[in-house]
Structure 1
Amino acid sequence: MIDVRPSPISGTWYPGDPETLAQSIDHYLNDIVITPLLGELKGVIVPHAGHRYSGQVAAHAFRYLEGLTPEVVAVISPLHHPHLGQVLTTGHDAYGTPLGNVPVDHALLQRFEAELNENGGIEVSYVRNDGEHSLEIELPFLQRVLPQPFRLLPLMLRDQSRPTVEAVGHALGKVLIDQSAILVASSDLSHFYPQPMAQRLDAEVLSRIEAYDPSGVLSAEEEGLGFACGRAA
């Protein structure tokens, strides 16, 4: 029998009824008009609040994945809970949502773990029955927009320091280069600031993302110029 991680947020962060959840996500997606992208899509950045708060924003990114057929989706998120370890993943065989189970690619995960340990000196920690929302919250959208089943590479970064982020990035590049894969970076932007300040902070982070400046994204918070909850993703 497959060992499925039970969802701790179904019915609260998003609808727990399969039909209601599917209709809700489709409603968000159908409200979006996208413009064609140049080049090949490799990944998206999406927020991780409850669907009622962030679903419409997330739909702008996920709409671009409609019709794609990756074999693997790597979801990289922060970790909001006090588990031990720098980089964590699930100890279960699959994530469960009302729309079905998403299998974890343990073979690819083992390759990532070996690469991260060899070149970064970092061990991957396994956690069971975790309460982390920022990774799971993206899965129902993926289940609706991707027409074929996919395997999941789930990574949660408790340590968002520069050395850890660089090591994770290099390890991901090594193991995904020969895969049909999409990256999903789970990150909110500023939290709880007055609107004018939030817009300034968010604009700074977004400008550094658009400039493909990962070092600048990490340093924005250190400099007090920006904030991203999942900046390491």
Structure 2
Amino acid sequence: MQKALTIRKPGVAGLFYSGKKETLEREVAIYLESATQMEIVNRVYGLVSPHAGYMYSGGVAARSYRQIVDREFEVVVVIAPSHHVYFEEISVYDGDAYRTPLGDIPVHKELARELANKHPNLIYSSIGHEGDEHSLEVQLPFLQHVLGDFRLIAIVMGNQDHANIMVLADALTELLKGKQALIVASSDLSHYHSSDKANVLDNVVVEHINNFDEDRLEEDLQRGLCEMCGGGPVIAMMKACRNLGANKSKVLIYRNSGDVTGERSQVVGYLSAMIYK
């Protein structure tokens, strides 16, 4: 008897984005149609995309995903922070697929297992992926709409310290060398400051990403000069992309939640960025 597939079901469909297929398809399409595409680049290695509800950050996320229209990848790696469960390791999803209202995305089981075997801090597990963790899930409908069929490696970082950043960056470099791969890092920026204060903090992130300087970004995060809930995923992605051949990094758009709601006293910052050659 064939073993039943292990599928990670949507945790925030109907909350962060529409739970109805047709509505979600239309919603994502509208965001993408409104997004600007940069000049043609040789190769896209990585993206940074926010993970708030689509009404707040969908337009920002779309700017990243607009850059990979008409491109093909052997595998897409999505790295996200854990919001609800703390664990020391980096969790590589061990199931068969991630589900959204747009369908099931198959996990690249061979590469996921190979990645998890590269270091003891990398675990082949569902920890961090279950329940209503939204940071990875909200990236997937955009990827489905733009790429159609693709295979996924889903990663949730527990501890985002320097050691884990280096473990993940080195392991991804080794795993993806010679492959046509995309690495997406999921992160929002500063949380619940005034809009003016958020702009100061978030401009530090913008500057370091535009300078392709992930080391300074990590230093300033540690010093409290900026904030990113997914700083570890972003820095690991940038390091891996550099190792794989990327030589440019560009912030495509920056906004905060006040730009949508009009409420400026407590905002959350969002940006999209592309790592490329």
Distance 1:34 1:92, change over 3 A: same
Stretches of structure 1 lacking an aligned partner (at least 5 in a row): none
Deviation at 1:226, TM superposition (A): 0.7
Instruction: Judge conservation of contact 1:201–1:227 (CA < 8 Å) in 2.
Output: yes
* Equivalent position amino acid for 2:126 in 1: V
Deviation at 1:37, TM superposition (A): 4.2
Identify the residue that residue 34 of structure 2 maps to in structure 1. 31
Instruction: Judge conservation of contact 2:84–2:133 (CA < 8 Å) in 1.
Output: yes
Deviation at 1:69, TM superposition (A): 1.1
Identify the residue that residue 18 of structure 2 maps to in structure 1. 15
Instruction: Judge conservation of contact 1:48–1:187 (CA < 8 Å) in 2.
Output: yes
Q: Answer with 35-44 or 57-66: which moved more.
A: 35-44
TM-score, length of structure 1 as denominator length: 0.93
Q: Answer with 19-28 or 214-223: which moved more.
A: 214-223
Identify the residue that residue 105 of structure 2 maps to in structure 1. 102
* Equivalent position amino acid for 1:40 in 2: R
1:65 aligns with 2:64: no
Deviation at 1:172, TM superposition (A): 0.3
Identify the residue that residue 188 of structure 2 maps to in structure 1. 188
**What is the alpha-carbon distance in structure 2 between the residues aligned to residue 188 and residue 219 of structure 1?**
18
Distance 1:83 1:224, change over 3 A: closer
Instruction: Judge conservation of contact 2:46–2:182 (CA < 8 Å) in 1.
Output: yes
Instruction: Summarize the alignment of residues 71-220 of structure 1 with structure 2, pairs less than 5 Å apart.
Output: 71-115=74-118, 117=119, 121-127=120-126, 129-147=130-148, 149-220=149-220
- Counterpart secondary structure, 2:13: coil
* Equivalent position amino acid for 1:200 in 2: V
**What is the alpha-carbon distance in structure 2 between the residues aligned to residue 104 and residue 123 of structure 1?**
17
**What is the alpha-carbon distance in structure 2 between the residues aligned to residue 108 and residue 201 of structure 1?**
37
Deviation at 1:91, TM superposition (A): 3.4
**What is the alpha-carbon distance in structure 2 between the residues aligned to residue 158 and residue 206 of structure 1?**
24
- Counterpart secondary structure, 1:42: strand
Identity, in percent, stands at 34
**What is the alpha-carbon distance in structure 1 between the residues aligned to residue 178 and residue 116 of structure 2?**
16
Task: Provide the aligned C-alpha RMSD in A.
Answer: 1.4
**What is the alpha-carbon distance in structure 2 between the residues aligned to residue 218 and residue 20 of structure 1?**
39
Instruction: Judge conservation of contact 2:115–2:122 (CA < 8 Å) in 1.
Output: no
Q: Answer with 32-41 or 15-24: which moved more.
A: 32-41
Stretches of structure 2 lacking an aligned partner (at least 5 in a row): 234-277
Choose between structure 1 and 2: higher strand proportion.
Answer: 2
Distance 1:228 1:83, change over 3 A: closer
Instruction: Judge conservation of contact 1:85–1:124 (CA < 8 Å) in 2.
Output: no
